[in-house]
Amino acid sequence: MLRLPPYRYHRPSTVEEAVALLGEHAGDAMAVAGGTDLLPNMKHRLFEPGHLVALKGIAELKGIREEEGVLRVGAAETLAAVAASPLVRARFPALAGAAAHVAGPQLRNMGTLGGNVCLDTRCTYYNQTAFWRRSLGYCLKKDGTVCHVTRTGTKCVAAHSADTPPVLMVLDARLALAGPWGRREVPVRDFFVADGIANTRRAPGEIVVEIRVPLASASRRQAYVKLRQRKSIDFPLLAVAVAAEIETDGVVRSLAGAVTGLGARPKELTGWSKLAVGARMDDALLDALAERARTQCHPLENMAVDPEWRRAMVGVYVRRALERLRG
């Protein structure tokens, strides 16, 4: 049986209290929302914080509402609530769909949107018990000095594996953060960095308070598709989000795409506007966009599934997502 390491559990009732607790125990405290990722990771001794600061009792982190042209989702709202929200389903079906594709029902009832955005990266050599990892001499991300994927020992390339961030990226969403230095807003597009050890720009002691999606993006056609081993429970081996403005005559006015499950951050697909804007969504364009995406993506052996096959699937899944946009 895997047991949790000992820790003290704090239940702040305001964002300010939570930030103060994280500051007071800096280096030895972590925020916990649903705990669906953090607690298994603690059982694997990937994290051993002496203090957990619970976010679910903070009223400010709850609620799904429209205000001043923005959909505002509290960071501690559950994925089940996001997936079922009539507001989210009507305005941002791809976001509701991505939330509905995370794990299984029990985990979506506990797991939150904020926790999904801040999810730790994953790797075959990392998401293992301490015993398993010790037998291999650990790795760069935790307790070791070498990367078993790249074998160079200088960089961690564990995979960003959360479902909702690519959708949030193509919908121009922003994150409201609160930390020891006050509050700020960051576009989701700028939130992630290509470092598998710490893949976000979140400062120590900073928490995500709200996820904000501009209602202007609701007029875009949008789609989300996910490749996984089983059709329930599993993390993405690859996921694709796309959003486009398409005129009534079928001509593309704007197009954005993002993929995840490959490298340490969700990747925005580039060069699409040049190919698509002003053109019609015909089969030739879909093929060109899918091929462009495939050439930009280079999956590594960070998951127990052949990287070349995953690369081939990039083209297939991008095309499927675009076909959904075309309707």
Ligand X SMILES: Cc1cc2nc3c(=O)[nH]c(=O)nc-3n(C[C@H](O)[C@H](O)[C@H](O)COP(=O)(O)OP(=O)(O)OC[C@H]3O[C@@H](n4cnc5c(N)ncnc54)[C@H](O)[C@@H]3O)c2cc1C
**Does the footprint of ligand SF4 cover residue 99 (CB under 6 A)?**
no
- Give the integer Cα–Cα distance in Å for 160 and 265: 5
67 φ/ψ angles, rounded to the nearest 5 degrees: -155, 130
- Give the integer Cα–Cα distance in Å for 65 and 80: 16
Distance (Å) of CA 105 to CA 79, 109, 233: 9, 6, 9
Q: How many residues bind ligand X (CB under 6 A)?
A: 32
Name which of residues 38 to 97 contact ligand X (CB under 6 A): 38, 40, 55, 75, 79
Tokens 């790795």, residue located: 139
CA angle 62, 64, 67 (to 5 degrees): 115
Stretch binding ligand SF4 (CB under 6 A), from 16-24, 44-52, 134-142, 174-182? 134-142
Residue 200 CB, nearest approach to ligand SF4 (Å): 16
Query: What are the DSSP calls for 13-62, one per residue?
Result: SSHHHHHHHHHHTTTSEEEESS-TTHHHHHHTTS---SEEEE-TT-GGG-
**Does the footprint of ligand SF4 cover residue 149 (CB under 6 A)?**
yes
Q: How many residues bind ligand SF4 (CB under 6 A)?
A: 14
**Does the footprint of ligand SF4 cover residue 157 (CB under 6 A)?**
yes
75 φ/ψ angles, rounded to the nearest 5 degrees: -60, -25
Which of 42, 80, 88, 147 binds ligand SF4 (CB under 6 A)? It is 147
Name which of residues 132 to 171 contact ligand X (CB under 6 A): 162-163
Stretch binding ligand SF4 (CB under 6 A), from 111-119, 155-163, 167-175, 178-186? 155-163
Question: What tokens were used for 137?
Answer: 């001499």
Question: What tokens were used for 292?
Answer: 């462009």
CA angle 285, 310, 314 (to 5 degrees): 15
The residues pairing with 197 across neighbouring beta strands, listed in sequence order, are none
| Pick 139 or 207: Cβ nearer ligand SF4 | 139
Which of 115, 165, 179, 196 binds ligand SF4 (CB under 6 A)? It is 196
Distance (Å) of CA 62 to CA 38, 65, 103: 20, 10, 21
Residue 139 CB, nearest approach to ligand SF4 (Å): 3
Name which of residues 180 to 239 contact ligand X (CB under 6 A): 207-208, 233-235
Residue 120 CB, nearest approach to ligand SF4 (Å): 10
Residue 32 touches which member of ligand X, ligand SF4, none, C-beta under 5-8 Å by kind: ligand X
Kindly report the length of the chain: 327
| Pick 193 or 284: Cβ nearer ligand X | 193
**Binding track over 102-131 against ligand SF4, x by CB under 6 A:** ---------------------x-xx-----
Which of 55, 140, 238, 252 binds ligand SF4 (CB under 6 A)? It is 140
In this structure, the number of other CB atoms found within 10 A of the CB of residue 214 comes to: 13
Chain contacts with ligand X (rule: CB under 6 A)? 30-38, 40, 55, 75, 79, 102-103, 107, 110-112, 114-116, 118-120, 162-163, 207-208, 233-235
